[in-house]
Amino acid sequence: MFGTIVNTVAVIAGGSLGILLKKGMPERVRVIYFQAVGLFTLAIGISMVWNMKHILTVVTSIVIGALIGEWMNLEKGAEQLSDWTKKKLRIGSERFSEGLTTSFLLFCIGAMTLVGAIEEGTTGESRLLLTKSVMDGFSSILLASAFGVGVVFSAIPLFLFQGGITLIAKIFGEFLSTETIQALTAVGGVLLLGLGINILEIKRLRILNMIPALVVVVLLMWITAKFGIRLM
């Protein structure tokens, strides 16, 4: 868990610095920054799905995961939790929910998160997560300067999600074969493509409602391997 703890601290520190710099950043700078982040997010997503394998499993996972997330209405639940947090802590940031959600997805849905957390859980090595911590620390400065304090609070779901993957990998390493990680990365890439579209304001997609796909794909890969089912 050392890598995740460092990553969490880096996001809190970077986000706090970004809030201090927020007042001095012109609107046009924030706009061009979001455009750059949106394009970069699309590029990461494309790189993660470029050599996609197990296409049928990935598609099935996203469809089932989206249906589960829509039924649970995760997006609305996240907004309600954000609003409750704002009221309890008397936070006046108008973009709190957007900042928390966008930061969480950027920090958590990526190859370095998945591979790094699994590596730490199975081998105890934190190299990848420490590298990611540096990147997330700098990113959180810019994100917080645009979104505000929601970026700092994204450290909480970051810790739970990334730390959870590490613990699962430590206990249930047999479920996470190389092929499972590849399929998981592909699903994450598709979600990042959707996030990039959201950031660029091309169309509003309910990406949070698709998050269960990350669990579904692991289960499907385990089932297909367990029973010798061959899918594309």
Residue range 91-108, pLDDT digits in tens: 655 677 778 888 888 888
d(CA 77, CA 167): 25
Would you say residue 76 has pLDDT above 70? Answer: yes
Model-level pTM? 0.77
Q: Is the dihedral of CA 154, 101, 191, 197 positive or negative?
A: negative
CA angle 102, 107, 109 (to 5 degrees): 90
Cα 20 to Cα 37, 74, 86, 148, 181: the distances in Å are: 20, 31, 19, 9, 38
Would you say residue 154 has pLDDT above 70? Answer: yes
Please tell me the least confidently modeled range out of 86-95, 170-179, 206-215.
86-95
d(CA 208, CA 73): 9
Structure tokens at 155: 């450290």
The whole-number pLDDT of residue 231 equals: 60
d(CA 46, CA 193): 7
Residue range 36-59, pLDDT digits in tens: 878 887 888 888 888 888 888 899
Would you say residue 189 has pLDDT above 60? Answer: yes
d(CA 113, CA 97): 22
Please tell me the least confidently modeled range out of 82-86, 155-159, 209-213.
82-86
